[in-house]
Amino acid sequence: MSQKCAIYPGSFDPITNGHLSIVDRALTIFDKLTIAILTNPQKEPLFSVKERIDMIKESLKGSPNVEVDTFGGLLVDYAIEKKANVILRGLRALSDFEYEFQMALMNRKLNREVQSLFLMTDYKWFYISSTIIKEAAGLGGDISGLVPKIVEKRLKEKFRDAKNT
């Protein structure tokens, strides 16, 4: 029997508890999940790709059926390369849906073999995003309980170092 594999793409700059909630739920559906960090030269992330990979791996210790990888180019091509026919996306609000729906339709046009699956985030993570987390942390806000401990630590270090330069 073949494994059911999915790709969970994103910038994960940084990974949040909302992302981890989607991962946990996806693992009840799929045998293997690849968290795929998009390398986009037009975006300037706070964390390097290596830092993001390290934080994701630390956050998901004990999840052997999760792989962390990077990709550039078309997501549907990457999915086929990884032998996955599902792209997993998390949704928070209606505004997420509009963008994700457009992307899903474009991916479907590019390759009809790859399906998009949307999972709603748990209600307690509905209001958080990586962007909001970075803004709050940058202003000295308490982000404990919203991100994994390693992410909280790295954000504090990153913003402390920025203040000292």
Q: What is the DSSP letter of 12?
A: -
Give the integer Cα–Cα distance in Å for 124 and 108: 31
All residues at 6 or more sequence positions from 87 whose CB lies less than 8 Å from its CB, including other chains: 6, 7, 9, 75, 76, 79, 104, 107, 114, 115, 116, 117
Q: Which is the catalytic residue, given 19, 52, 89, 134?
A: 19
pLDDT digits (tens, 9 = 90+) for 30-47: 999 999 999 877 888 999
At 7, the pLDDT band (50, 70, 90 cuts) reads very high
Residue 35 CA to residue 5 CA, distance in Å, equals: 11
Task: Give Cα separations from 18 to 4, 37, 111, 128, 140 (angstroms).
Answer: 23, 16, 28, 7, 21
Q: What residues contact 141, with CB distance under 8 A and at least 6 apart?
A: none
What's the CA gap between 131 and 129, in Å, rounded?
5
> Across the strands, what pairs with 16?
none
Q: Specify whether 108 is catalytic.
A: no
Known active-site residue 130? yes
For the chain, domains (ranges, CATH) are 5-128 (3.40.50.620)
Is 43 considered catalytic here? Answer: yes
Pick the catalytic residue from 32, 89, 130, 134.
130
Active-site residue among 25, 57, 82, 92?
92
Residue 61 annotated in active site: no
What does the pLDDT read at residue 13?
96
What is the tens place of the pLDDT at every residue in 53-95?
999 999 999 888 999 999 999 999 999 999 999 999 998 877 7
52 to each of 55, 57, 58, 106, how far by Cα in Å?
Answer: 5, 9, 10, 27
Amino acid in position 62: G
